[in-house]
Amino acid sequence: MPELILDNLSKSFGDTTVIPSLSATIPDGEFLVLLGPSGCGKSTLLRMIAGLSDISSGELHFDGIRANGWSPKQRGVAFVFQSYALYPHMTVRGNISFPLIMDAFRPWHHLPGVNSFMRRRLMASPAISQRTEAIANQLELGALLERRPAGLSGGQRQRVALARALVRNPSLYLLDEPLSNLDAKLRMQMRAEISSLHHKVGKTFVYVTHDQVEAMTMATRIIILDRGVVQQIGAPDEIYAAPANTFVARFIGSPAMNLIPVTVNEGRLTVPPALTFFYEGPLPAAGPQILGIRPEKLQLLSEGNGPLPAQVAVVESLGAETVIGCRLLSGATEEHLLEHDLIFVRMPGVQRIPIGTRCGLGFAPGDVTWFDAATGQRRAS
């Protein structure tokens, strides 16, 4: 399998630059997830790797060889489209075997009339039909081989698209939001199937999604993109534990990391306008900073305890855990709510807390991540 190197890749459409400059190395066998919000350039990047979009500048290397001008065929990749992109006039068998048939086709086989004859002949050949059936059975499509895509459910169509990608045994699999059209239950099932498929085939997968749960559960490494710029590259747990900036901190985690703007002044922190408390851990330089803390690291305490007085505004019970959204109070004397985002606390099990309850929020200094208020970048602790 080729090692894939993206060297200062950029993509522009006219005057609009979608990806200014992107570099990354994708080693053999990795499950790399390109994660970012809609319009961040992740699908464009995938299409450039596949050879479906031109590269405006920079270099793409497959196993050390410059591949900028290579056709999709030369790259030998498999691509699973968000919309499945099945051939509607062909049966499931026809769809799955199509890449194998194309590999066996000679140029003159494409002539009208000749093509349908040759396609049927090759499809019935033992090598192609056995391979097609083996892949179909692997993805539980064996009983559907003679059906057309219009007669399949969303999940079945998705599996046909996967089977078509698998059948040629390529070295690189590119998947463009393949689960986004499925319902939640099916998505979870397919997520597990794709992960196990990756383990089974052991090839490199590059997977585009805007769903952080997919990214966290499937990836060996994640590239987080925003407006075409890499925000962070790392393993899911690394990114979760130490987000590079406030964008990543907000994007990864559900609920996201709590980001509280504070002003540091002589060992004290002030949440504007007037909530001031002492902080025992190491502090960054004086001035405006952002204090970040994951919801599961916050403790919901009784009123009067903890450095942050708050009031419960939202309670979301999920069965195994409860997410509680609180608003900070400005202080013990002036008890009005502060105007900024809700602070989320994650607690195990079912918690029956009435909305409006006064409480305190506490945390251990070691669980805090500091960000620069001006740049949004994480500060070294």
Partner 1 sequence: MNHLSKLPRFLLLGILAVLAGLPVYWMATTALSDESQLYMNRQVPWPQIGNLGSLLSAIAAVPAGRWMVNSLIIATGTTVVSLLLGSLAGYALSRFRFQGRGFIGFLLFMTQVVPEALILVPLYAMFITLGLLNDLAGLALANAAFSLPVATFIIKGAVDTIPHEIEESALIDNCPRFGILTMIVLPLIAPSLAAAAVIAFFAGWNEYLFASTFLMDRGLWPASVGLASFIGQYETPLSVVMGTALLFSLPAITFFLIIQRRIVAGLTSGAVKG
Binding site for partner 1 (CB under 8 A): 50, 52, 71-73, 77-79, 81-89, 98-99, 102-103, 105, 107, 110-112, 115-116, 119, 148-152, 154, 157, 164, 168, 181
- Cβ at position 175, least distance to partner 1 in Å: 12
Our CA dihedral for 315, 340, 286, 300, rounded to 10 degrees, sits at: -10
What distance in Å separates the CA atoms of residue 327 and residue 155, rounded to the nearest whole number? Answer: 42
Q: Which is nearer to partner 1, 96 or 310 (CB)?
A: 96
- Cβ at position 180, least distance to partner 1 in Å: 9
Q: Which is nearer to partner 1, 86 or 222 (CB)?
A: 86
Element housing 183 (H / E) = none
**Which amino acid is it at 40?**
C
Q: Which is nearer to partner 1, 161 or 310 (CB)?
A: 161
- Cβ at position 353, least distance to partner 1 in Å: 41
- Cβ at position 213, least distance to partner 1 in Å: 20
Sole residue written with tokens 């509607």? 88
- Cβ at position 110, least distance to partner 1 in Å: 4
93, 146 contact by CB (below 8 A): yes
Quick one: angle between helices 92-104 and 154-166, nearest 10?
20
Q: Which is nearer to partner 1, 26 or 86 (CB)?
A: 86
Q: Which is nearer to partner 1, 153 or 381 (CB)?
A: 153
**DSSP code of 257?**
P
Q: Which is nearer to partner 1, 145 or 326 (CB)?
A: 145
What distance in Å separates the CA atoms of residue 214 and residue 230, rounded to the nearest whole number? Answer: 19
- Cβ at position 104, least distance to partner 1 in Å: 10
Q: Positive or negative CA dihedral for 326, 322, 33, 11?
A: negative
- Name the H helices within 27-71: 42-50
